Amino acid sequence: MSAEFAPWDEPDAVPLIKVENVTKRFGSFTAIDHIDIDIFPREFFALLGPSGCGKTTLMRMLAGFETPSEGRITIGGDDMAGVAPNKRPVNMMFQSYALFPHLSLWDNIAFGLKREGMEKDKIAARVEEMLKLVQLGKFAKRKPHQISGGQRQRVALARSLAKAPKLLLLDEPLGALDKKLRQETQFELMDIQERTGTTFVIVTHDQEEAMTVASRVAVMDHGKLIQVDTPQKIYEEPNSVYVADFIGDVNLVEGRATAVGEAAEFVWGEGQPSLVGMPGGGVQADRAATFAIRPEKIAISRDEPEARNRVHGKIIDIGYLGNLSTYHVQLPTGAMLTCEVGNRSRVARRDFTWEDEVWLSWTETAGMVLPS
Amino acid sequence: MTRLTPFNIVSLTLGFAFLYIPMLVLVVYSFNSSKLVTVWAGFSTKWYGELFRNEAFLEAAWVTVKVGFFSSTLATILGTMAAYTLVRRARFPGRTLFSGMIYAPLVMPEVITGLSLLLLFIAIGLDRGVLTIVLAHTTFSMCYVSVVVSSRLVTFNQSLEEAALDLGCTPFEAFRAVTLPIILPAVAAGWLLAFTLSLDDLVIASFTAGPSATTLPIKVFSSVRLGVSPEINALSTIIIGLVTIGVVTASLVSKRAISRRAAEERAAET
Ligand SMILES: Nc1ncnc2c1ncn2[C@@H]1O[C@H](COP(=O)(O)OP(=O)(O)OP(=O)(O)O)[C@@H](O)[C@H]1O
Ligand SMILES: [Mg+2]
């Protein structure tokens, strides 16, 4: 993704998909709650959220299998109300794969092309290309029940890519793949996206995946959109405790915001020095607030450091994760902070050990003060 | 597998004796040379010859096969459509009422079905014959087809149809290209069931058959009332033979299909 690709910041960019104030109810249950999203051409848009938050439902509304109870969806400027799934410029890869069990892999992939009335030899060429892409060429004659779960997932991916649609909806496309194949396929997807200019909307449970592939990430909870932003902003500037906690590891400290301006001051715990961080999520002075700080932004030292934010505590637990070590430090108030330190030298230089008294510190811009 | 115990042997023998002794008696007596059904007077195939010279029986057999074929085909088409609509296009007003109504003929006494059809045909002035029997049989066997097909449809992953729509099919194309091939075994089973029911039926056929067309069950039943003749035994033996051939063929065909699939799998691996 090139650095300047940011159509969402350009006022006159025209979105490919406009979701306007859409609500979906199943009986009395609200699966999607007043959602607004603009997705731009050539975006790789990731939907992230816990199970049951409505990701699949949103995709199904884009594909045309569910009708919004309220609101409007337009694709390429056309109102999609009443437009049947087969008339939409959209292909979807289903969470359950939905491969046709009575057809060979070859015929599964050719299915959509045949409906288009493409010439026979063009179909053959396209299918071969797709099979090669997902590395299943030698299984072309097999039926779906004769291949593994991960292979099925790749066939489903190939089938949805075959028609080269303007918009491709992928519902957890890589969940069943092992890590190596998943990374390969992620890069393959990004490559396809770059070559074909297809717009992707992808659902994933895997935040690392969302971070790797997406131009923007939407974090959902209970049918609501909590934050839509670039992966970096989602990570560095979450707008709520929910997002901070959902994406990556974070230390959360309960307290109160005292002054909010360029920076925000935060008080907590009896006798503890105040902390300073970036204000976020519309935090207000003299309200309950939460201080959020990522473990890798905390430095650990034996002597009292100069930094503005510093706390004193005792090491309770040490985790060795190969490339880094984590220290769990208990503060006098009983709160626990986790800090992560990269292991640069191979020789285990045990600077700190259990029960050691240490200082934790971080800069004024490293943490966020968010409304509780 | 454990070995057969004496208890197993006894229960097996009893069970099979119970099932097959009556038929065995019938088959043996069809080769009796005496006209008296209960007195054995030596081996003969003359009743088979008599049977094949009996125009009335042959005519009735032909009518039965025709009725069976047309009514089961019609019932399969209608029953499959009904099942598809009731299972799939699930949200329309009165759906529960309709799905209840389609199964009502299953529990309706045949006499009532037959009588109501008879009254209908008289009311609309339709002459009773092959057509009326076909219509009547379609009516009652359609719901059996519908039960068989819908039990297959409820276990059928609906996202398969959605995938077909997504790839550019109209709903009808999706049905033809995806749904039908997958539920085909159930549809075939429904057809066979309807065909068997039609061959079997005496009550409804006797309400709706006219002087121009009689089915075999009606013919057999009415001639038995005048006394069991060895000709009937011969006819029954032939039917038993045909059914046996049918069952054996069906099991051979399905066995072949299974081994062919295994071969396909092997072929796909190389
Ligand atoms: N047809 C339906 N009828 C009733 N409720 C539904 C229907 N489809 C989805 N729901 C409900 O809507 C909510 C959102 O479902 P959805 O499938 O969109 O979740 P999801 O975010 O895709 O979850 P997952 O990550 O587990 O796939 C769930 O609580 C689900 O039970
Ligand atoms: Mg889902």
Q: Give percent of chain A above pLDDT 70.
A: 98
Residues A257 and A347 occupy one common structural domain: yes
A244 part of a folded domain: no
Least confident piece of the model among A20-29, A266-275, B111-120, B223-232: B223-232
Mutant choice from A59, A86, A103, A107 vs B, greatest count of B C-beta within 10 A: A86
Residue among A102, A143, A159 with most chain B CBs within 10 A, to mutate = A102
Encode pLDDT of A30-64 as tens digits: 999 999 999 999 999 999 999 999 999 999 999 99
Overall average pLDDT of the A341-365 stretch = 81
Looking at A181, A203, A236, which one is the last position of a domain?
A236
Q: Which two tokens stand for residue B144?
A: 């059996």
- A308 falls within a domain: yes
Is residue A37 located within the same domain as residue A169? yes
The verdict on residue A242 lying in a domain is no
A contacts of B167 (beta carbons < 8 Å):
86, 91, 111-112, 115, 159, 163
Q: What is the pLDDT of residue A230?
A: 94
The answer to whether residues A102 and A221 belong to one domain is: yes
- Write out the two tokens for B85: 């609509």
* Chain B environment of A65 (Cβ under 8 Å): 162, 165
Do B268 and A94 lie within an 8 Å CB cutoff?
no
CATH number for position A309: 2.40.50.100
pLDDT of residue B213: 84
Report chain A residues touching chain B, CB-CB < 8 A: 63-65, 84-86, 90-92, 94, 96, 98-102, 111-112, 115-116, 139, 141-143, 146, 159-160, 163
- Nearest residue, CB atoms, A102 vs list B163, B169, B181: B181
- Compute the nearest-CA separation of A153 from chain B (Å): 14
The closest ligand to the CA of A26 turns out to be 1
Q: What gap in Å lies between CA A204 and CA B212, rounded to an integer?
A: 70
CA angle, corner B70, sides to B65 and B72, nearest 5?
95
* Mean pLDDT score across all residues of chain A: 90
Q: Tell me which residue range forms the domain holding B113.
A: 54-235
Give tens-digit pLDDT for A86-128: 999 899 999 889 999 999 999 999 999 999 888 999 999 999 9
B166 touching A (Cβ < 8 Å): yes
CB atoms within 10 A of CB A35: 23
Q: Do A98 and B173 touch (CB under 8 A)?
A: no
How many domains is chain B built from?
1
Question: What CATH number is given to the structural domain containing B124?
Answer: 1.10.3720.10
- For residues A274 and A360, state if they share a domain: yes
Question: Would A231 be classed as within a structural domain?
Answer: yes
B84-96: average pLDDT: 79
The 8-class DSSP code of residue A296 comes to: G
Residue B10 has pLDDT above 60, yes or no: yes
Distances (CA, A) of B133 to B21, B62, B205, B243: 33, 13, 6, 23
On whether both A309 and A340 belong to a single domain, the answer is yes
CA of A145: which chain B residue's CA is closest?
B265
- To the nearest whole Å, the CA of A223 is away from the closest chain B CA by 22
Is the per-residue pLDDT at A345 higher than 70? no
The arithmetic mean of pLDDT across residues B19-31, rounded, is 88
Mutation to test the B interface, candidates A56, A67, A100, most B Cβ within 10 Å: A100
CA distance to partner chain B, nearest, from residue A114 (Å): 9
The residue range of the domain holding A303 is: 249-371
Confidence band, pLDDT 50/70/90 cuts, at residue B270: very low
pLDDT digits (tens, 9 = 90+) for A156-210: 989 998 988 889 999 988 887 888 888 888 888 888 888 878 899 999 888 888 8
- % of chain B at pLDDT higher than 90: 34
Task: For the beta carbon of residue A234, count every other beta carbon within 10 angstroms.
Answer: 28
For A124, counting Cβ atoms within 10 Å of its Cβ (0-12 exposed, 13-18 middle, 19+ buried), the class is middle
User: Given pLDDT bands bounded at 50, 70 and 90, which one contains residue A3?
Assistant: low
Q: Considering its fold, how many domains does chain A have in total? A: 2
Measured from CB, residues less than 6 Å from any atom of ligand 1 are: A 26, 29, 31, 49, 51-57, 95
Both A259 and A225 in one domain: the answer is: no
Q: What is the pLDDT of residue A1?
A: 47
Reading the block at residue B56, the tokens are 């009335």
**Maximum distance among all alpha carbons in chain A?**
78
User: How far from chain centre, in Å, is Cα B229?
Assistant: 27
A67 and A164 housed in the same domain = yes
CA distance A229 to chain B (A): 29
CATH code of the domain containing A80: 3.40.50.300
- Shared domain for A325 and A219, answered yes or no, is no
Token pair of A118 as six digits: 């493409």
